[in-house]
Amino acid sequence: MIPDLFADIASPEPSRIEMAEGAVLLRGKALPLEHELLAALDVIAAAAPFRHMVTPGGFVMSVAMTNCGAAGWVTDRTGYRYDRNDPESGKPWPEMPASFLQLAVEAATEAGYPDFRPDACLINRYEPGARLSLHQDKNERDFANPIVSVSLGLPATFQFGGLKRTDPITKYSLHHGDVAVWGGPSRLFYHGVPTLKDGVHEKVGRMRLNLTFRGAL
Ligand code: SIN
Ligand code: FE2
């Protein structure tokens, strides 16, 4: 018999959690690529710095954002949209790094969306106290594409609801390296991240970084 050498280091939690029909949480999926992802994030943030955007209603968002890929999600007083250029510089967003694309495609495939090829990656930076209220991702052209969402750094709570804002919400803890994917019947489900608790992550520091991959154009 071959001894099970890895039994004692196996994660106590299942590595794949079905959140809803079409929605899965892949625990630790991004860990093998963490160094590439963090190095690439530094390069992106140097070219297109994180900024606190303004909502159409005039509120400054507590989450700081930047983008990479062919298009980036932006908001200002005129509304939410995808823009091929960074409005701060007028230049195209930084290219999507190969490690980002690889992770997004692998995670989407594992979740049942093998044809997903993202053209946009919104990068959210949460510092302690930042939050993202319950919303739907609906500025994308084709809802056949799932959303792939990668968590790095400090842990957060992910609220995942239903098609109506008032539908019951389930909470999941999101840790460094976790990847959530929602599409198909749950593509337009409400979701949000309540206030980030203070802390320091050994690799990322006093923040949480979130990458969300979309098919935007
Ligand atoms: C988002 O909804 O764009 C981000 C979700 C997250 O930060 O986990
Ligand atoms: Fe979202």
pLDDT score of 13 = 72
Evaluate if pTM is beyond 0.75. Answer: yes
Taking CA atoms, 188 is separated from 68, 75, 160, 181, in Å, by: 23, 19, 11, 12
Decide if 2 is inside a domain. Answer: no
CB of 67 shorter than 6 A to ligand 1: no
What confidence tens digit (pLDDT) does each residue in 13-52 have? 779 999 999 999 999 999 999 999 999 999 999 999 999 9
Q: How are the residues of the chain apportioned to helix, strand and coil, as percentages rounded to the nearest 5?
A: 15, 35, 50
- Domain for residue 14, yes or no? no
CATH at 135 = 2.60.120.590
Q: Which two tokens stand for residue 28?
A: 């630790």
Q: Whose CA is nearest to atom 3 of ligand 1?
A: 212
Whether residue 11 lies inside any domain: the answer is no
Extract long-range pairs of 58-61: CB within 8 Å, 24+ residues apart. 61/132
Asked if residue 129 belongs to a domain, the reply is: yes
Of 136, 149, 182, 189, the one to substitute when testing ligand 1's pocket (max ligand atoms within 8 A of C-beta) is 149
CA 8 / ligand 1 centre spacing (Å): 33
Q: Is residue 7 part of a domain?
A: no
Do 10 and 27 form a contact (C-beta atoms < 8 A)? no
Q: Evaluate whether residue 3 is within a structural domain.
A: no
Domain that holds residue 196: 19-214
